Amino acid sequence: MKSVKSLAMLLAAAFIMNASFAQEKTVSVGGALMYPSKNIVQNAMNSKDHTTLVAAVKAAGLVETLQTPGPFTVFAPTNEAFSMLPNGTVETLLKPENKGALTNILTYHVVAGKLDAKELSKLIKAGGGKAELATVAGGKLWATMMGNKIMLTDEKGGMATVTIMNVYQSNGVIHVIDHVVLPGS
């Protein structure tokens, strides 16, 4: 009788866990569902569109940092965005001797705090059409609206469009972007 009761409780617990996991509001990125209960690294590793970003995060030694509670806002360039950089750039940055430069570029894509699209829009409106964002790298990004799209401008004048917004994580939010943004120096 005890084993039947234990089995029933185990099945009930499994059902409840499954139901709560299934109720998470997921977003599909790179052919994979992104779960709000997972952290930035756990989700990014499943996206087929972010294999270059994940390799770069590993090479820069930022995996542990991006698994901490944060919260972080990450503007995540796709593989296609990285492919728009001049030939050989990604390969050069992934070399151990370029870890500092790689880290600077990657942390330029990160803002402290959890800034979803609604919050970014508020900041843009409060800034008269432009929000200045301080990056973890110590640089600045500027967010503006173009129609209903959030646009980023980097310190070199390059622009990126947020193509998928509000990919919530346990430790922040990811916004997928279509270009790599670059710090001024």
Please, are residues 172 and 74 in contact by the beta-carbon 8 Å criterion? yes
pLDDT tens column, 111-149: 999 999 999 999 999 999 999 999 999 999 999 999 999
The CA-CA-CA angle for residues 113, 169, 62, to 5°, reads 70
> Which tokens sit at 58?
């590993």
pLDDT > 90 fraction of the chain, expressed in percent and rounded = 69
pLDDT > 70 fraction of the chain, expressed in percent and rounded = 87
- Burial class of residue 152 (count of CB atoms within 10 Å of its CB; 0-12, 13-18, 19+): buried
What domains, with CATH codes, occur in the chain?
26-177 (2.30.180.10)
The CA-CA-CA angle for residues 180, 141, 60, to 5°, reads 50
Confidence of residue 20 (pLDDT cuts 50, 70, 90): very low
> Which tokens sit at 46?
């499943």
- Burial class of residue 94 (count of CB atoms within 10 Å of its CB; 0-12, 13-18, 19+): middle
pTM of the shown model: 0.85
Q: Find the Cα–Cα–Cα–Cα dihedral 111, 116, 149, 86, rounded to 10°.
A: 30
Please, are residues 66 and 42 in contact by the beta-carbon 8 Å criterion? no
